[in-house]
A and B are shown apart, each in its own frame.
Chain A
């Protein structure tokens, strides 16, 4: 079980609980605004782009090579950018805070 907090573009904070699957799926199932996950989680559409809170970055880990390539040309990209379809839910990321990219 992991609690994950999303901050959307309108500043709203939502905390969700998940046990498995990707962070993107959890967000889409719960209607987090700005996370669309159009491609279903295969790293193709970049519509699940989030910024990981700096202090959580180490636990979440860095983007894989392909994900990094996808992010390279995305809008609003920072050093804390990840595609949430590539973040697997586990106890290890309990309590992280993600800000939905613009």
Chain B
């Protein structure tokens, strides 16, 4: 098993040209690679729009499998802000103590379930379960719903061997339609019911708009959280000294998680559609083509991060863009941060060491670039701290 390195495939192009190019389903992408440019382009919604055809700003493009506009993700200001306002407070619930307590007991229980096993396959039997169960807290739906979501497998949109799978997407869309109708008949205090009771500019949200919020919530936090969880455990398996460090100084967990997020960059990039012919790093980008805001490359930019390819859990200045940047920054970030902080602390308190047995890496192909984002599967064994 190779070391749990996540190499930076963008370094040469980032330093020499500042951009990279990839062809995604015959829809060209100019990947923006430098930290400064990524932030500038993310900030500049007037020239680089999110309000394109639904699915187009996702790379790989989902235009062929999705018609529902993800909200607020696929809107530009000022409309974006109006919708975001409706849900922003909801997505900050993870900052509350009772939410964190529930998340903590979920994660500790799951860890207890696998800690004594001879081996556990982390992606499906740990990370997917953790992500799905935690999502019941974010949606405020019954815990049992997580069993349905777990049964869908690791990808909502993608199945093994196929990059984009329309049938998988339909399972999710049908499920969400059904849940919106259920909440309409019997409102509860879940996200569906909250959205059904919400309005923008005096107009109630339509089912299609509510579906757009839910599709984003399900899809945006699935692979990303699963990869972050799996990569985090793989990292501590190879760095027992870091696990000891967290045990001895649990107060560094916040900084540690930010550094892991920077290094893993669970979402490689997000696209925007160019509105008028312009330039990035003296390179022409044509109207109606796409740029890719490459968070993963920006997070290794040596102009900003000292020793960018090393994990320094106490890194003090860490202006990473793992959750994006600007008005569209990740709505699920508070939830994701809590998951990782609680997970790291739980592992530090219960686990002596972790052994990686075998696994298969998950590599994205992005034009000339090949980037590891995590694992398709990873078998590990936990060694428990014995209570003396």
Residues A39 and B43 in contact in the complex (CB < 8 Å), given A64-B317, A73-B326: no
Residues of A57-102 whose CB lies within 8 A of B: 64, 66-67, 69-70, 73
A73–B317 Cα gap in the complex (Å)? 17
Q: Does B255 contact A (CB under 8 A)?
A: yes
Q: Which of B43, B319, B334 contacts A43 (CB 8 A)?
A: B319
Mask, B310-325, CB within 8 Å of A = 1, is 0000011111110101
Classify the secondary structure of A's interface with B: loop
7 A-B pairs with CB atoms under 8 Å apart are A36-B95, A42-B317, A43-B317, A43-B318, A44-B320, A45-B323, A67-B317
Q: Does B346 contact A (CB under 8 A)?
A: no
Q: Closest chain B residue to A75 by CB distance?
A: B327
Mask, B69-112, CB within 8 Å of A = 1, is 00000000000000000000000000100000000000000000
Q: Which of A44, A64, A69, A73 contacts B258 (CB 8 A)?
A: A44
List residues of chain B with CB within 8 A of the CB of A42.
254-255, 258-259, 315-319
Judge whether B255 and A40 touch: CB under 8 Å. yes
List residues of chain B with CB within 8 A of the CB of A69.
36, 304, 319
List residues of chain A with CB within 8 A of the CB of B40.
73
Judge whether A39 and B258 touch: CB under 8 Å. yes
With both chains docked as a complex, state the minimum distance between the C-beta of B305 and any C-beta of chain A, in angstroms.
9
Q: Closest chain A residue to B329 by CB distance?
A: A45
A36–B94 Cα gap in the complex (Å)? 12
Q: Closest chain A residue to B337 by CB distance?
A: A38
Enumerate chain B interface residues (CB-CB to A < 8 A).
36, 39-40, 43, 95, 254-255, 257-259, 304, 315-321, 323, 325-326, 329, 333-334, 337
Q: Does A34 contact B (CB under 8 A)?
A: no
A43–B318 Cα gap in the complex (Å)? 6
With both chains docked as a complex, state the minimum distance between the C-beta of B267 and any C-beta of chain A, in angstroms.
15
Q: Which of B36, B318, B334 contacts A44 (CB 8 A)?
A: B318
List residues of chain B with CB within 8 A of the CB of A40.
254-255, 257-258
Judge whether B319 and A66 touch: CB under 8 Å. yes
Residues A41 and B254 in contact in the complex (CB < 8 Å), given A69-B36, A73-B39, A73-B40: yes
With both chains docked as a complex, state the minimum distance between the C-beta of A47 and any C-beta of chain B, in angstroms.
10
Q: Closest chain A residue to B327 by CB distance?
A: A75
Judge whether B319 and A44 touch: CB under 8 Å. yes
A66–B329 Cα gap in the complex (Å)? 19
Judge whether B255 and A70 touch: CB under 8 Å. no
Residues of A29-54 whose CB lies within 8 A of B: 36, 38-45
List residues of chain A with CB within 8 A of the CB of B315.
42
List residues of chain B with CB within 8 A of the CB of A41.
254-255
Q: Closest chain A residue to B333 by CB distance?
A: A38
Judge whether B334 and A38 touch: CB under 8 Å. yes
A34–B318 Cα gap in the complex (Å)? 21
List residues of chain B with CB within 8 A of the CB of A64.
317
Q: Which of A44, A45, A73 contacts B43 (CB 8 A)?
A: A73
Judge whether A66 and B317 touch: CB under 8 Å. yes
List residues of chain B with CB within 8 A of the CB of A66.
304, 317, 319
With both chains docked as a complex, state the minimum distance between the C-beta of A41 and any C-beta of chain B, in angstroms.
7
With both chains docked as a complex, state the minimum distance between the C-beta of A36 and any C-beta of chain B, in angstroms.
8
A73–B40 Cα gap in the complex (Å)? 7
With both chains docked as a complex, state the minimum distance between the C-beta of B252 and any C-beta of chain A, in angstroms.
10
Judge whether B319 and A70 touch: CB under 8 Å. yes
List residues of chain A with CB within 8 A of the CB of B39.
73
List residues of chain B with CB within 8 A of the CB of A39.
254, 258, 318, 337
List residues of chain B with CB within 8 A of the CB of A38.
333-334, 337
With both chains docked as a complex, state the minimum distance between the C-beta of B253 and any C-beta of chain A, in angstroms.
9
Q: Closest chain A residue to B39 by CB distance?
A: A73
A66–B302 Cα gap in the complex (Å)? 12
Extra pairs beyond A42-B318, A69-B304, A73-B326 (11, CB < 8 Å): A36-B95, A40-B255, A41-B254, A42-B255, A42-B259, A43-B317, A44-B320, A45-B333, A70-B319, A73-B39, A73-B325
With both chains docked as a complex, state the minimum distance between the C-beta of B16 and any C-beta of chain A, in angstroms.
22
List residues of chain B with CB within 8 A of the CB of A45.
323, 329, 333
Q: Closest chain A residue to B304 by CB distance?
A: A66
List residues of chain A with CB within 8 A of the CB of B320.
44
List residues of chain A with CB within 8 A of the CB of B95.
36
Identify the 5 closest CB pairs spanning chains A and B, nearest first: A40-B254, A42-B318, A73-B43, A42-B258, A66-B317
Q: Closest chain B residue to A28 by CB distance?
A: B95
